[in-house]
């Protein structure tokens, strides 16, 4: 009986989502031209990188197990974890680094662990869901501030209690715009707040050897905690938190998402190392993606409801779940893998097409996409 009641409740929720045109479904669209994935530098599909990972993995697995067999604190740790963490600390100009299984888990670990009862977390209202979920697990007070609005942030800092933590993303995943990191660092220093920057969508694309936007702006000494994820431009999986040795030791001892989860596989660890090495040997990739972004922005008409973005993430606002779905279907029918972003993922009225540019998108493909976007806009 209880099972039947639960099924009715779940089906009612699904029916409501369907009526609101916001029901999520799993799809496979490999036949379409990719303008949707986060594989900005094409590393996930790069044959040379794939082969190098295979070589080091085959060699390593002769002496190691397929799976990690436990958490890092039990049987999951090995020399490869230690080596890659030292390497990542160097790349990202930090004292220490700690690997996590994903960016989501890393943010849960950081925000559920560091702020304590009596502290205050101030977060950009457009922060990713994993940041907000981590904050919800904390016992600290938490308040959003207006997106990239320093005045809104400072007003809330003045009212905050205890140690203040500020959470932002260097590049925002749903808008593709940049956080004002220099100004945020200055404001944090002014009020002795701890600034935490999620660099998920800047890792690999910005900074020497893909070190991120913070390093590109030479702010690593002013921003004590950064989260870098590898499932976007790095083309693999996992994440790392970089900062001081004390930060690493504290997370190892108190971050439940680190302590109580099975360590990532050897293949994932080795893939991270090879991906960073590949970027360090192919500096042209960062220039290539910036050229794609420049071309796309130049080709798009100002008549489109398009926010200006200098990152690979481009958006075109088409309000309404049904309307943006129709636009996405038109583009998919023309051969482009472009997905609609619906409310409640974004605010109602700000539904959009999210277009991701890649180094492997040819000039011809971008030209055709922009022409299709103009046609779609005229039909909307």
Task: For each of the domains in the chain, give its residue range(s) and CATH number, in order of start.
Answer: 25-47+283-379 (3.90.1150.10), 64-280 (3.40.640.10)
Rounded Cα gap, residues 167 and 123, in angstroms: 5
| pLDDT computed for residue 220 by the predictor | 96
| pLDDT computed for residue 301 by the predictor | 60
CA atoms within 13 A on the CB side of 326: 12
Q: Which residues contact 223 (CB under 8 A, 6 or more apart)?
A: 181, 185, 188, 195, 196, 197, 214
Geometric angle at alpha carbon 285, from 281 and 290, rounded to 5°: 150
Rg (CA), the chain: 22
Rounded Cα gap, residues 258 and 107, in angstroms: 11
| pLDDT computed for residue 304 by the predictor | 56
Rounded Cα gap, residues 248 and 255, in angstroms: 10
| pLDDT computed for residue 259 by the predictor | 97
| pLDDT computed for residue 63 by the predictor | 75
Residue 122 — φ and ψ, nearest 5°? -110, 125
Which stretches of the chain score pLDDT less than 70?
1-3, 301-307, 377-380
Q: Give pTM, 2 decimals.
A: 0.93
Rounded Cα gap, residues 227 and 250, in angstroms: 15
Rounded Cα gap, residues 84 and 75, in angstroms: 18
| pLDDT computed for residue 308 by the predictor | 79
SS3 96: strand
Question: Cβ distance 160 to 154 under 8 Å?
Answer: no
The sign one gets for the Cα dihedral 172, 217, 274, 50 is positive
Distance of CA 297 to the CA centre of its chain: 22
């Amino acid at each position: 009986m209880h099972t039947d009641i639960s099924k009715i409740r779940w089906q009612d929720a699904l029916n409501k989502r369907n009526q609101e045109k916001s029901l999520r479904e799993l799809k496979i669209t490999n036949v379409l031209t990719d303008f949707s994935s986060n594989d900005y530098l094409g590393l996930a599909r790069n044959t040379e990188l794939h082969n190098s990972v295979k070589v080091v993995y085959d060699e390593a697995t002769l002496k190691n197990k397929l799976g990690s067999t436990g958490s890092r604190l039990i049987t999951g740790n090995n020399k490869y974890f230690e080596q890659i963490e030292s390497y990542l600390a160097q790349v990202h100009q930090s004292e220490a680094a700690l690997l996590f299984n994903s960016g989501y888990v890393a943010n849960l670990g950081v925000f559920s662990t560091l702020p304590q009862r009596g502290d205050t977390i101030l977060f950009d209202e457009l922060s990713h869901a994993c940041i907000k979920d981590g904050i919800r697990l904390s016992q600290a007070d938490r308040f959003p501030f207006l997106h990239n609005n320093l005045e809104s942030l400072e007003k809330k800092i003045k009212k905050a209690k205890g140690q203040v933590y500020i959470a932002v993303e260097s590049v925002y995943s749903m808008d593709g715009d940049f956080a004002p990191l220099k100004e945020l660092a200055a404001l944090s220093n002014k009020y002795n707040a701890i600034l935490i920057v999620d660099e998920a969508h800047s890792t690999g694309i910005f900074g020497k050897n893909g070190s991120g936007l913070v390093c590109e702006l030479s702010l690593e000494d002013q921003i004590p905690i950064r989260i870098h994820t590898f499932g976007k431009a790095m083309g693999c999986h996992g994440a790392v938190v970089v900062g001081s040795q004390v930060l690493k030791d504290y997370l190892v001892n108190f971050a439940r998402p680190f302590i109580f989860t099975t360590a990532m596989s050897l293949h994932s660890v080795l893939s991270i190392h090879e991906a960073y090495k590949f970027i360090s040997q192919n500096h042209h990739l960062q220039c290539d993606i910036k050229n794609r972004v420049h071309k796309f922005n130049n080709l798009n008409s100002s008549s489109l409801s398009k926010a200006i973005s200098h990152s690979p993430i481009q958006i075109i606002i088409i309000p309404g779940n049904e309307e943006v779905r129709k636009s996405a279907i038109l583009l998919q029918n023309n051969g482009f893998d472009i997905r609609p972003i619906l409310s409640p993922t974004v605010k109602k009225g700000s539904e959009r097409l999210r277009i991701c540019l890649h180094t492997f998108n040819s000039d011809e493909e971008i030209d055709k996409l922009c022409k299709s976007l103009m046609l779609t806009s005229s039909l909307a």
